[in-house]
Chains A and B, each alone.
Chain A
C-alpha cells in the first residue's frame, strides 16, 4: 500500500515537471517562461521527494528527502525572483502583446528607489 502511494506521488511529480518544461519551451517571453517553469518544476520536484519519503519510510534517505523539500521551498522562489528582477533591470523586452508593466511605471515615477 505504501509503495503504491509513493509511486503515484512520484508520477504526479513527473507530470508537473513535464508541464513546466513544455511551458519553458513554448511560451513567448522570458517572464512567461520563468513563471510557468519555476512553479511547475518546483511542485514537481516536491512530488518526487515526498513520494520517495513515503516509499522508503523514515530512515536517513527519507528524512534527507524531506530536508531537500524545505531547501527547495526557499531557494527556488528566491532565485526566480532575483532572475526576474535582473532581467527587467538589464532591459530585456516584454512580449509585444503584453498588456501592462507596473514595475516600469513605478520606476519611471520614482516610487521605487532602485
Chain B
C-alpha cells in the first residue's frame, strides 16, 4: 500500500514537470486538471492506510474544487466573461 502511494506521488511530480515545461497555456491547464484527479486517489489510499475517516471527505471536496477550477480556466482560455 505504501509503495502505491509513493508511485502516485511520483506521478504528481510528473504532472508538475509538464506544468513547468509545457510550451502553451493549455498544456499547463491539462496537467493541473490531471493532477487534481490523481490527488483524489492519493487521499483515498491515505484514508485506508492511516485509518482516518475525514480524508475521504477531503477527496470528495477535491473533485468539485478541481472541476470548478478547470471550468473557470477553460472559460478564461476561451476568452469569454464568466457570467456569459
Give the docked Cα–Cα distance between A60 and B76 (Å): 38
Sorting the interface of chain A by its residue count into under 10, 10 to 19, 20 to 34 or 35 or more gives 35 or more
Using known A-B contacts A10-B4, A87-B26, determine if residue A78 contacts B67 with beta carbons closer than 8 Å: yes
Give the docked Cα–Cα distance between A18 and B9 (Å): 11
Please classify the interface of chain B as helix (H, G, I), strand (E, B), loop, or mixed, using the class held by over half of its residues.
Answer: helix
- Whether the pair A90, B47 counts as a contact (CB closer than 8 A) is no
In the assembled complex, which residues on chain A have CB atoms less than 8 Å from the CB atom of B1?
7, 10
- Whether the pair A34, B30 counts as a contact (CB closer than 8 A) is yes
- Whether the pair B18, A24 counts as a contact (CB closer than 8 A) is yes
Residues of B in contact, count (CB < 8 Å): 44
Which residues of chain B in 49-82 are interfacial with respect to chain A, using CB atoms and an 8 Å cutoff? 53, 56-57, 59-60, 63-64, 66-67, 70-71, 73-79
In the assembled complex, which residues on chain A have CB atoms less than 8 Å from the CB atom of B14?
21, 24-25
Closest residue of chain A to B59 (Cβ to Cβ) is A68
- Whether the pair B27, A33 counts as a contact (CB closer than 8 A) is yes
In the assembled complex, which residues on chain B have CB atoms less than 8 Å from the CB atom of A7?
1
How distant is A39 from chain B, measured CB to nearest CB, in Å? 11
- Whether the pair A17, B8 counts as a contact (CB closer than 8 A) is yes
A residues with a Cβ closer than 8 A to B are 7, 10-11, 13-14, 17-18, 20-21, 24-25, 30, 33-34, 37-38, 41-42, 44-45, 48-49, 52, 55-56, 60-61, 64-65, 67-68, 71-72, 75-76, 78-80, 82-83, 85-87, 89-90, 92
B residues with a Cβ closer than 8 A to A are 1, 4, 7-8, 11, 14-15, 17-18, 24-27, 29-31, 33-34, 37-38, 40-41, 44-45, 47-48, 53, 56-57, 59-60, 63-64, 66-67, 70-71, 73-79
Q: A49-B44, A67-B60 are in contact. List 8 more A-B contacts (CB 8 A).
A: A21-B11, A68-B56, A83-B30, A83-B33, A83-B70, A86-B75, A92-B24, A92-B26
